[in-house]
Structure 1
Amino acid sequence: MEIKLEDINSKKVKPSRQALYNDGKLKECGKCHKLKIYAEFGLKSGGLRSICKHCKQINDAFDYYRNKFLIVMNLINKQQKGKCIKCSTNFTFLPILDFHHPKPELKQTTWRKNRRKNWKIILSLFEKEEVVILCKNCHSKENTKIFNEFKGVILKDNLFKFKAEAINEIVLEYVKKSKLKNIKNYKFRVIEWIKKRSVIEQLYNGKCIGCENVSVMKNLPALDFHHRSKH
Structure 2
Amino acid sequence: MGNYFSELGENVISAKQERVRELTQRALADGVDPVEIINSGLIPGMNVVGARFKAGDMFVPEVLMSARAMNAGMELVKPLLVGKEVPSQGKVVLGTVKGDLHDIGKNLVSMMLESAGYTVINLGVDVSAAKFLQAVKENKPDILGMSALLTTTMLGMKDVIELLKEEGLRDQVKVVIGGAPISQEFAREIGADGFAPDAGSATELCHQLVAR
Report the TM range for the smaller structure's normalisation: under 0.3
Give the TM-score normalised by the residue count of structure 2: 0.26
Write 1 or 2 for the structure with the bigger share of helix.
Answer: 2
Superposition TM-score, scaled by structure 1 size: 0.25
Larger radius of gyration: 1
